[in-house]
A and B are shown apart, each in its own frame.
Chain A
Amino acid sequence: MSNQTLEIRWHGRGGQGAKTAALLLADVAWKTGAHVQGFPEYGPERMGAPITAYNRISKEEIRVHSNIYTPDLVVVVDETLLESVNVTGGLREDGAIIVNTAKSKDEIIPLLKGYKGAVYVVDARKISVETLGKYFPNSPMLAAAVAVSQVMPEADFITEMQASYQHKFAKKPEVIEGNMLALTKTFDSLREDLKGAKALVEM
């Protein structure tokens, strides 16, 4: 793929919202004027089974309709997948991986099969429980994907997500504030690590 397209691969387990996060990312990137693709890879769907979802984001029209084999960014929503799925397969060395874990980056790196690119960790469980009272990893992981890829400015993302959640949770307005807080807390948790980091793909 041309280097003007940001390609993201999501690894999660059925029911955790990795597909929803990919679709939300497509949605919010679309709102900032980009061309987007957000699509899941379907197998025998069941709760807990490993699932993969993808994003392409570009300033140009996107015509390729295949899965993504050399992603710029991999987002691992469930760290137990590090044992069973080759999450770094094809991941570009100038790209990045984000793992949802309570472990430190130094503890995660040895589990990444020698991957030499940038590694980020997000404790989505902690953030989610603190802000929503329950474990929904997709809002923190979505924020982490935007923070690390720098596909759009943080302020634009926050503004668009506020509108998105207002629409999505029109019948459950009590969860909007918690979700917004989850997004900003995730950005805050990565701020130190991302100092000096550039956008994964210049568009």
Chain B
Amino acid sequence: MAIRDRMSGNEAVAYAIKQINPDVMPAFPITPSTEIPQMVSTYIANGECDTEFIPVESEHSSMSATIGAEAAGARSLTATSSCGLALMWEELLVAASNRMPCALALVNRTLSGPININCDHTDGMGARDTGWIQIYAENNQEAYDNFIQAYPIAEDKRVHLPIMICQDGFITSHAVENIELLEDEKVQNFVGTYQPEEYLLNPGKPMAVGPYSVSNYAMEARKNQELAMEASKEVIIEVAKKYKELTGRGFELFEEYKTEDADYIMVIIGSAAGTAKQAVDDLRAQGKKVGVIKLRVFRPFPAAELATALKNCKAVAIMDRCESYNGNGGPLGSEIMAGLYRDRVFIEAVNYIYGLAGRDFTVNHVYDIFSELEDSVVNGNKIEQFKYIGLRE
């Protein structure tokens, strides 16, 4: 029996961590993820889990300590946001290249400047090429569900990569909503006991972690890491299937909402996907053939799968909650368009930048975007291929 409850997104992730009871959690507080280490340390103080909590002096250290603990053979994780993730930059690559299956609860927040504490995906997208698996959540329920699936994905022998479970700062992290929780025992059975094959605290089998690699070998290490990222796709799907057996809640690389006969599709990540779904229902009631694809897994990037899902529509709006400052579009826009071209899917594609630094994204914005797409296809009115929505006039 599922446990019916209500929680914020941060509470949901902290609760998942308590249930998983990982071995080590080094952390340094930063808004809006601060509550996660705060709540986990309360669980530890109350004897509800026995994770070793390491208070550190910076995020550079929290990620370093996470890697150290993971290398020693301990299931490890940390949590952060924004500038905290930026300060971990070097270590993120170290974690991935040393094939550490550690986890990170990322509560997405913009980066300076102007200094701002609110949500966008600048932090997560900035780390998109560090070799971490990235899974994004629409709401508190998905943040919880994704977190419980994190270690079975990361620790799989075909993968052995670190995993980032992301949710939108404040919008879901600080919003109290309904949620269904699993019993502790079910979570523990699902996640299982961590049994690393090779680890530092194993006197019978000495090893080195992170030694220098000469150019004759380093490139092969990178290729193996890339292959592991590719392999993680099927593992993510397998784990989701098992999770569905347990909970009834199904997950894929992305969710297709009313896209089957859709002429116009919006591809979007995170909490705004819920807003888009509501708008789609409203427009469907008016007879508009519109749909939403909510991208859950950004790394590995399901380029071919997205091209297939989009090939029968007339136009797609690709939504980036992140500016790349390249004069060419956001990260999701660039990657989807490249994937469409590679699979020879030639549809109208517009890359919208929305919701930067907490700018609200509403059902009205979604109506406007679909109306613009339709106008472009039906009346041949040209739209800029890369534009902002929700900007002050």
Q: Which residues of A contact B (CB under 8 A)?
A: 1, 23, 26-27, 30, 35-40, 42, 61-67, 69
Contacts and interface: CB of A to CB of B under 8 A. Distances in A.
A26 B117 CA distance: 24
Nearest to A19: B174
Contacts of A61: 178
Given A42-B117, A69-B362, A30 B6 contact: yes
Contacts, number: 64
19 contacts: A1-B278, A27-B176, A30-B176, A36-B177, A37-B176, A39-B170, A39-B175, A40-B174, A42-B32, A63-B278, A64-B275, A64-B278, A65-B139, A65-B271, A65-B274, A65-B275, A66-B361, A67-B362, A69-B362
Most buried by B among A39, A62, A64, A66: A66
Contacts of B172: 65
A37 B177 contact: yes
Most buried by B among A1, A40, A65: A65
Given A26-B177, A39-B175, A42-B358, 9 more contacts: A1-B278, A30-B6, A36-B6, A37-B176, A61-B178, A63-B275, A64-B274, A64-B278, A65-B175
A63 B178 contact: no
A36 B178 contact: yes
B360 interface: yes
B177 A67 contact: no
B175 A38 contact: yes
Contacts of A62: 177
**What bracket does the count of chain B residues touching chain A fall in?**
20 to 34
Interface of B: 6, 32, 117-118, 138-139, 168, 170-172, 174-178, 271-272, 274-275, 277-278, 358, 360-363
A39 B363 CA distance: 18
B360 A23 contact: no
A30 B274 contact: no
A38 B9 CA distance: 12
Contacts of B177: 26, 35-37, 62
Contact of B118 (A30, A39, A42, A65): A42
Contacts of B271: 65
Nearest to B115: A44
Contact of A65 (B6, B171, B358): B171
A83 B153 CA distance: 54
Contacts of A69: 362
Contacts of A27: 6, 176
A39 B275 contact: no
Contacts of B361: 66
B329 to A, nearest CB: 24
A35 B6 CA distance: 9
